[in-house]
Amino acid sequence: MNRSSRLIKRFTSNFLAFGYGQIVSLAVQFVTVPFFLHIWGTKRYTEWLVLSGIPVMLGLLDFGVAHATASKATMMAGKENVHGVRVSLQTGMLFSLAIAILIIACVLCAGRWFEWASLLKLSSLTHAEAQTVLLLLAGHLGVSMFSGPLIAWFMAINHTAWGVFLLANRRMMDVLVTVAALFIGANAPQLAGAMLISQALFVALVTLYAIRRSPWPIIGFRHASWTEFRSIVKPSISHAGITSGQAFMLQAGLQFLNQVAPASTVVLYSMGRTLMRVVLQIGATSERALRPELSRLKGSGGDAAAKLLQRRIITLSLAVSFVAYGVLVALGPSIMNIWSSSEVVATHWELAALGAHALLNTLWIVPGSMLFATNRHGAIAAFYLLGVASAMFFFYASLSVISPFTTAALFLCIPEIFVIAKIAFTAKPYLL
């Protein structure tokens, strides 16, 4: 098997693993939504969506260090620099621990400053119950933060696909725990507690497995370095700018609609967006599967092979994304009807509008993969954040002339358009 065939095979394995992870993430919505709606009803489920979105926003405090660490460690592994790999990974692990502690501290402090029940319009939970849910979900998020350094570890030891597959199942654990808890009549605090305990056990088991598979001793903090941290600050912040902007866009649309539209519109927006984001996952999964191979090739001096591999994946991912968009717009209303047991009705136009941002995302995410793989994505991050700021202005300015649902759908598209414009009109080629 020649080098090109080996690279395609490795990309395919990575794509299947990352794709499985995306499928599991979607399953959290597709599988659990009917149970939430049937057992808790629309109102309680809407309150869970609003409340659980707050810890997700705190996850932005990671600042993209895990992703920058993964690229750096994989390039070091390509150079066979074992000490560099160890320093990079242990620095990432220490940072994740610090952020997990900070997230819990933020929730504790926020509980003293805000009255959650009135602020978030919660009718089924008291402030104390809402604070308990937030603390438990913050702990759940804190434990999940360690999946970033763990995936970076698997990438560095050239077991990307297997490591990603294992860690994707932590979300499947959430699905199983959620369904079981709802069936036995658990309330929101009990559900959040069950999710935290199961997540902690799962991450501990994967860590033990990584220790056994690794050819080098990695676990610990002795080699963590402030110098190493400073070397990845810029790419970390850049990556965080994109991921935080994306997370903000997802949660902001939900929170804005919760303030100006009925619960039925909020649920339609959430479910329709989840369905149409299948399109986005095609490009995102391709980029994530491609990134470790590009990092390793760049680290070992295989620039030509890296460029050829990227160009092939760009063509394939764009073609599949456009086909998937058309299929989901055509079949989406029927899928939504079955998914929600006829409680949520969506039109073809509504799904097309909600999926537009996902299709736009595929136009830049894979072409930008070489920049992510080599930690040179600062310009993309800057334009994405500029797009986020513009989208916020658009949302408030448009509510008086456009329906809340349409405004929320267009709101998601604006940052994607900004990055596409940057790539289209920049003088610097993004495939190099």
Query: Quick check: is 169 in a domain?
Result: yes
pLDDT at 189 over 60: yes
Query: Quick check: is 248 in a domain?
Result: yes
Query: Quick check: is 196 in a domain?
Result: yes
Mean residue pLDDT of the chain comes to: 83
Domain that holds residue 385: 3-425
Number of domains the chain is built from: 1
Q: With bands split at pLDDT 50, 70 and 90, how would you rate the model's confidence at 427?
A: very low
Residue 121's CB is within 10 A of a number of other CB atoms, namely: 13
Angle at 326 between CA 325 and CA 329, to 5 degrees: 85
Region of 64 please: left (phi>0), alpha (psi -120 to 50) or beta: left
Sign of the C-alpha dihedral computed for residues 176, 177, 178 and 181 taken in this order: positive
Query: Quick check: is 220 in a domain?
Result: yes
Average pLDDT over residues 262-277: 85
Query: Quick check: is 259 in a domain?
Result: yes
The position carrying tokens 């799904």 is 351
Query: Quick check: is 279 in a domain?
Result: yes
pLDDT at 430 over 80: no
Give pLDDT tens digits for 292-340: 888 888 887 777 888 888 888 888 999 999 999 999 999 999 998 888 7
Q: With bands split at pLDDT 50, 70 and 90, how would you rate the model's confidence at 96?
A: confident
Helices (H), 145-224: 147-156, 160-183, 188-213
Query: Quick check: is 430 in a domain?
Result: no
Q: With bands split at pLDDT 50, 70 and 90, how would you rate the model's confidence at 361?
A: very high
pLDDT at 1 over 70: no
Give pLDDT tens digits for 376-414: 777 888 888 899 889 888 887 887 788 888 888 888 999
Q: With bands split at pLDDT 50, 70 and 90, how would you rate the model's confidence at 432?
A: very low
**Burial classification of residue 174, based on how many CB atoms lie within 10 Å of its CB (0-12 exposed, 13-18 middle, 19 or more buried):** buried
Contacts of 403 (CB under 8 A, 6+ apart): none
For residue 329, the model assigns a pLDDT of 94
Q: Give 278-281 contacts, CB < 8 A, sequence gap 24+.
A: 278/26, 278/324, 278/328, 278/358, 279/321, 279/324, 279/325, 279/328, 279/355, 279/358, 279/359, 279/362, 280/357, 280/358, 280/359, 280/361, 280/362, 281/19, 281/22, 281/26
pLDDT at 19 over 60: yes
For residue 431, the model assigns a pLDDT of 43
Q: Residue 195: phi, psi to the nearest 5?
A: -65, -40
pLDDT exceeding 90 applies to what percent of the chain?
11
For residue 429, the model assigns a pLDDT of 42
Query: Quick check: is 78 in a domain?
Result: yes
pLDDT at 161 over 60: yes
Helix, strand or coil, per DSSP, at residue 341 = coil
What pTM was estimated for this model as a whole? Answer: 0.70
Residue 146 is inside which H or E element, if any?
Answer: none
Higher pLDDT, 246 or 143: 143
Give pLDDT tens digits for 41-84: 878 888 888 787 777 666 655 556 777 787 888 888 887 888 88
Higher pLDDT, 296 or 206: 206
